[in-house]
Structure 1
Amino acid sequence: MRGAGPQQTLVMVDGQRINDPATGSTYLSAMDPTTIERVEIVRGAASSLYGSDAMGGVINIITRSDGQDKPLSVFGNIGVGTHSLFKASVGVSGASNAWDYRLAGSYASSDGFNATREKLGAMIYNPDRDGYEQASLSGALGYTWKPGNRLGVSFYNGYTHGDFDSGAYDTNTFGIMRQQSVAVTSNNQLTDWWESVLQVSVNRNVYDSRASYGDSVLGSIQRTYSWQNNFSINRQNKLSLVLERKDESIFGTTTYEQDKRHTNAVGLIYRGDFNRHHIQASLRNDNVSGYDSKTTGSLGYDFDITQQWSVGLAGNTGYRVPTFADLYTPLSFGYQAIRI
């Protein structure tokens, strides 16, 4: 994303951030593209809208249905390839009688190929094949009990088992990655000019490495509670107030100096549409326990040249909270981050 690495790009699944707070990485290998409905991308710094990590941009992976009435649809595919590759997926989606739903699952496996070469040396070269297995399950269920009022739940569960090489004499080394998330969202049109959006989400990442020189586990849990209030002042002016709380914790075989932290955030977003002129401004403050408080902002202007063409100019700020590994890596690893 515009030259930014994984730790500087916010990645979400159905609006839930999945960046690992322990390392900042995103385990996209556990996600099968066939379970994705669409991908939305915001380019450039967007921390005033989404908080930490949104420096290079934001990627939102959508796996659920959009809640619109549509008939039941079923999809499925199956495929084979080289290295004993096998892939299959199946899913259903639809919406009727105020209910909308989606359920999709996938499985893939391969014997893989040798990831090392003899020229690396006898101590490193390993002639075995490095295969993998991948499975995922995602779904969503929502009920619109009256226009503008919907209660929904969505979930995602991804699993990957992948072999890797760690030397000539270590023939059974592999890593297991699990990525799980669940969210409950309530959209409520309280008045003609006030919409409330409440969401509670939990995301869990675990990476388990198995090798003869020792096993290691590193996992994280993120709990996010958000309340967004959208106010329609009039047809030209809209204002949103966002209140958010994020709790993060890590666990595993390595003991970190700190393994918990929380973030309290408040944000304001303004949108103005005046014929061919469009203005958007936002301001947000994130207060991170044990670290610092950060305020970010953005201001953008668009002008419609025609109904099909527009030009715009925007300025945005972004930031990234250091990961647990950045701040609290044990001294026994050979280095340690120290705050002065």
Structure 2
Amino acid sequence: MKYPPLLVALTMPLFPHFVHAVESVTILDPVIVTASRSSEPESQSLAAVTVIERADIERQQARSVPDVLRSIPGISLSQNGGDGQLTTLFLRGTNSDHTLILIDGVRVGSATAGLTPLENVPLAQVERIEVVRGPRSSLYGSEAIGGVIQIFTKKGGGPLTPRFSLGAGTLGSSTVAAGVSGGGERGWFDVGANLERSTGINACSGRPEPFAGCGVIEPDHDGYRQLGVNLRAGYAFSDAVKFDTHLLRSDNHADYDGSSFAGNVARAEQQTAGTSVTLKPLELWTLTVSAGQSWDHLRALTTTTAPKTVVSTFDTTRDTLALQNDLALTPTQKLSLGVDYLDDQIASSTNYHVTSRDNLGIFSAYQGQFGATELKLSARQDDNQQFGQHATGSAAVGYRFANDVQLALSYGTAFKAPSFNNLYYPNYGNPALNPEQARNWEVSVTGKLPLGEAAAGRWDVRLYQTEIDDLITFDPRTWTAANINRARIRGVEATAAARLGEWDVTTNLTLMNPEDRSVGSNQGKVLARRPEQTAQLALDRQFNRWSVGTTLLIAGRRFDDPANAVRLGSYTLVDLRTEYALSAAWRLQLRLENALNEHYETSAFYHQPARAAYLTLRYAL
């Protein structure tokens, strides 16, 4: 593979020789929970983790969860149009259903399609996002081949604090959000709501004959509307007993280009609810019991008839129950033992032969530090009602040198259980399918960018290889789903964050070779819709009450089909932003999106928004 010189130039800050230009700042080490299912400082995690805080979301002036995720290394997105349209995510080149999505610890996503509609998660209610790249089935079970993304809603706590935002922009976009949080010394609560609207763009210019894209020509604007609500509360009765409960709901309406058979209006309702109790029977023993439910209701309607007619409905209910014991064996060693239970139920206008299944998983995880050496081990056994027993495991070891550079090596296995569509969809499903299986190797080098006694930033470089067997695809010989595909994905990720002079700088580079290894005509081809090169550079600076920033995102070419016959060109996106502090509580923000007015596609025949501007007024104490 050859890489453009500009991509290489963007990674210059990734190497320590530039530290003479870096100002000394102290960067606090975030505490993460997703990588190991227990709290640990981010710097002690041997996994590739990216943490997005609420302050980052507001500084970027992001407008959706996909908008936040697109600049994270290893992530590429494919979007069928503008706001609210179907968005699929590829993490480290794995399939779009190979990433586990959690909201406040609750597993979400459609059990029929196997995907999570991230475009319908209300960003206004999100406090934090943790992205773990690399296999995590040994902790979470199915779906975590590419990694895990956990979204945390606003929690609250402290004195009573109101918040409010009002925004408007191009394409008839408008948004209003309000909420209040508080709780005092031992309690916490948050109540929030948001409403967003957009007239949208013409999502698709399809081709009826031969069929391509959406298959129709409907030169109209495909609008979007979302209503989101977040409720969360908890109380620490003592240092040994804590209780937390949460509810996140969104009602979404999106127009799309379709037909009288497939519909052209989607009404989607998503709800995630859960509760957890954390007990500390002994100083060295923490017990957490949690229960949750995610609910996904989708209706496709057509406007070609009057009144609107429902074309299809899909309901998914996922009930989860978990028990986890965390044991502090020594000050530097921890053992976690737990049990997960998952029950999937579906109801649909489509006749599925089977409409429910459950899964029981037992897992263990060990974390130990022996001087400069860190060791992490985990193993899991899943017993699924449909496909039976499946075991996974992982091991990682890291060594930290005297100059604070850490070298780490890891190996892990993962799997993905077939979705209900794969198994039981009429005239396609195959109940004899096996889980998709993966093996991953990774080597990483991480370090700080030092200057004097303080750390100015961090950098890391990671090389990985993922091999996936028994990939599920359509078999033209039987006209059903079958385990006949294979893939091998090799990649390198490099990231850095620092302060140069008055500027805060973050940058990352991903180079990837996602190769189809299946026997047949597509062997050696690039997996569909994955760019082989992506790079991102973000610059931000504060001028008293003013702040300014820009984000540059470069994505290389990709192919829309397994045969690599339809090529989607590379593109460069530049976003500009500024903010003015009217007072300690009021801020006025302006964002210019796609400032170069780049015309590009991430899915063939589906359009992306042109240059757009958004103005937002925020209030928060």
For residue 312 of structure 1, give the secondary structure of its aligned residue in structure 2.
strand
* Equivalent of 2:235 in 138, 143, 147: 143
Question: Are 1:188 and 2:279 an aligned pair?
Answer: yes
Q: Is the 8 A contact 1:206 1:217 kept in 2?
A: yes
Question: Are 1:206 and 2:206 an aligned pair?
Answer: no
Match of 1:229 in 2: 325
For residue 145 of structure 1, give the secondary structure of its aligned residue in structure 2.
strand
Match of 2:117 in 1: 27
Match of 2:429 in 1: 336
Question: Are 1:43 and 2:133 an aligned pair?
Answer: yes
Shift of 1:307: 7.6
Shift of 1:98: 0.9
Shift of 1:81: 1.2
> Match of 1:108, as an amino acid?
E
Matches within 5 A, 1:122-271: 124-167=216-259, 173-211=264-302, 212=304, 215-271=311-367
Q: Is the 8 A contact 1:218 1:252 kept in 2?
A: yes
Aligned-pair identity (%): 26
Q: Deviations over 1:138-184 (max 9, x none)?
A: 121000000142111011101110111225x89x8311111101101
Question: Are 1:111 and 2:204 an aligned pair?
Answer: no
Matches within 5 A, 1:266-281: 266-281=362-377
Distance (whole Å) between structure 2 residues aligned to residue 102 and residue 312 of structure 1: 39
> Match of 2:100, as an amino acid?
L
CA gap of 1:307–1:245, structure 2 versus 1, over 3 A, is: farther
Distance (whole Å) between structure 2 residues aligned to residue 9 and residue 45 of structure 1: 9
Larger deviation, residues 219-228 vs 127-136: 127-136
Distance (whole Å) between structure 1 residues aligned to residue 409 and residue 204 of structure 2: 49
> Match of 1:191, as an amino acid?
L
Question: Are 1:91 and 2:91 an aligned pair?
Answer: no
Q: Is the 8 A contact 1:143 1:151 kept in 2?
A: yes
Question: Are 1:73 and 2:175 an aligned pair?
Answer: no
> Match of 1:46, as an amino acid?
R
For residue 48 of structure 1, give the secondary structure of its aligned residue in structure 2.
helix
Shift of 1:267: 0.6
Q: Is the 8 A contact 1:27 1:179 kept in 2?
A: no
Distance (whole Å) between structure 2 residues aligned to residue 316 and residue 117 of structure 1: 42
Distance (whole Å) between structure 1 residues aligned to residue 397 and residue 372 of structure 2: 11
Q: Is the 8 A contact 1:37 1:62 kept in 2?
A: yes
Question: Are 1:314 and 2:410 an aligned pair?
Answer: yes
Q: TM-score of the superposition, structure 1-length normalised?
A: 0.91
Shift of 1:125: 2.4
Match of 1:291 in 2: 387
Match of 2:55 in 1: none
Distance (whole Å) between structure 2 residues aligned to residue 116 and residue 284 of structure 1: 43
Q: Is the 8 A contact 2:99 2:144 kept in 1?
A: yes
CA gap of 1:95–1:257, structure 2 versus 1, over 3 A, is: same
Larger deviation, residues 229-238 vs 217-226: 229-238
Distance (whole Å) between structure 2 residues aligned to residue 60 and residue 160 of structure 1: 21
Shift of 1:137: 0.8
For residue 109 of structure 1, give the secondary structure of its aligned residue in structure 2.
strand
For residue 92 of structure 1, give the secondary structure of its aligned residue in structure 2.
strand
For residue 360 of structure 2, give the secondary structure of its aligned residue in structure 1.
strand
Q: Is the 8 A contact 1:14 1:64 kept in 2?
A: no
CA gap of 1:277–1:126, structure 2 versus 1, over 3 A, is: same
CA gap of 1:144–1:306, structure 2 versus 1, over 3 A, is: farther
CA gap of 1:322–1:234, structure 2 versus 1, over 3 A, is: same
> Match of 1:11, as an amino acid?
I
> Match of 1:337, as an amino acid?
N
Q: Is the 8 A contact 1:328 1:337 kept in 2?
A: yes
Distance (whole Å) between structure 1 residues aligned to residue 165 and residue 181 of structure 2: 15
Q: Is the 8 A contact 2:158 2:185 kept in 1?
A: no
Q: Deviations over 1:60-85 (max 9, x none)?
A: 011132x7x63333322111112211
Distance (whole Å) between structure 1 residues aligned to residue 103 and residue 240 of structure 2: 23
Larger deviation, residues 18-27 vs 48-57: 18-27
Shift of 1:287: 0.3
Q: Is the 8 A contact 1:30 1:135 kept in 2?
A: no
Q: TM-score of the superposition, structure 2-length normalised?
A: 0.51
> Match of 2:172, as an amino acid?
S
Distance (whole Å) between structure 1 residues aligned to residue 130 and residue 355 of structure 2: 32
Q: Deviations over 1:195-232 (max 9, x none)?
A: 10000101101110001485100110010110001111
Distance (whole Å) between structure 1 residues aligned to residue 185 and residue 368 of structure 2: 35
Larger deviation, residues 209-218 vs 56-65: 209-218
Q: Is the 8 A contact 1:272 1:278 kept in 2?
A: yes
CA gap of 1:64–1:203, structure 2 versus 1, over 3 A, is: same
Q: Is the 8 A contact 1:64 1:154 kept in 2?
A: no
* Equivalent of 1:324 in 409, 420, 425: 420
Q: Is the 8 A contact 1:47 1:55 kept in 2?
A: yes
Q: Identify unmatched segments of 5+ residues in structure 2.
A: 1-90, 210-214, 434-621
CA gap of 1:304–1:80, structure 2 versus 1, over 3 A, is: same
Distance (whole Å) between structure 1 residues aligned to residue 165 and residue 106 of structure 2: 27
Distance (whole Å) between structure 2 residues aligned to residue 291 and residue 86 of structure 1: 47
Q: Is the 8 A contact 2:299 2:310 kept in 1?
A: no
For residue 127 of structure 1, give the secondary structure of its aligned residue in structure 2.
coil
CA gap of 1:117–1:197, structure 2 versus 1, over 3 A, is: closer
Q: How many residues align?
A: 332
CA gap of 1:297–1:84, structure 2 versus 1, over 3 A, is: same
CA gap of 1:98–1:324, structure 2 versus 1, over 3 A, is: same
Distance (whole Å) between structure 2 residues aligned to residue 96 and residue 305 of structure 1: 43
Distance (whole Å) between structure 2 residues aligned to residue 82 and residue 221 of structure 1: 36
* Equivalent of 1:282 in 373, 378, 396: 378
Distance (whole Å) between structure 2 residues aligned to residue 32 and residue 260 of structure 1: 28
Question: Are 1:300 and 2:396 an aligned pair?
Answer: yes
